[in-house]
Structure 1
Amino acid sequence: MRDQADQANQYDDGTAPDLREDIAYVCDQLDRIRTALEAYGRDGVVPLECLLTALHGGEDLAAPLSTLHEALLAAGDAAGIRGQARGLEPIGVGAPTPDERVLLCPIHQCSRHAWPGSCGAARCLISGQPLRTERL
């Protein structure tokens, strides 16, 4: 496995938006990631817990995200947290139309969003805080 500096450098050319997208993915898939690491991860859920600790502590997220990505790959997840296709929609199906409000990450760490009234959108899965509402 690469050292921490090499892992952190994976985000150097993409900066914050890439980090936010990856945090959004982790937030959305938190239960699945935890289950996969508990079952197949060499270090169990330690990489996930390190990322969650960094998020709560306002620390740099690049190295913990890279470590989590590598742990998921080692656990048999072919895509990790960076290989999934994001933002793709089937032809003829548009994004839901909000009523001019959107729910966003309460700790400003990820780009995940939800529409008011959508199922399971009331709380951040990482921090447990209510999602913040912003007008579009």
Structure 2
Amino acid sequence: MIDRTQHSVVLVVDDNEATRYSTARNLRAAGFNVVQASAGAEALELVEFVSAVILDVHLPDLLGFEVCRLLRSKATTADLPVVYVSAMYVSESDQQAGMQAGGNAYLVSPVDPEAMLATLDHLIGDRPTVTH
């Protein structure tokens, strides 16, 4: 288990305001700091100082898969943990596409908050410490 208060800022990217709010609330209650974005381009601007990204696949400007590819193409975000969450892109082929784009995990909505927390703890805990 990681100390979430020490260094854990999670970027929640979802165009659905209610889902984004709920996810952010659950993460804050668990001790994470949270930054929110409603679109892919906005997420790419906010990602520099976060520890992980919760990324909806269906966004208004870019698919989450493309956002992940763009993150993987930059040295500063190439190793950033990305957890996809989707209620729309749920097939096995969607999940494979997401992982091929560079995702670390793929959760199908509705997501059990404890499963999300366990996934984040694992991914952030395994990541080398990065200083900015």
TM-score by length of 2: 0.27
Higher strand share: 2
Q: Which structure has the bigger radius of gyration?
A: 1
Q: Which has the higher contact order (CA 8 A, sep 6+)?
A: 1
TM-score by length of 1: 0.26
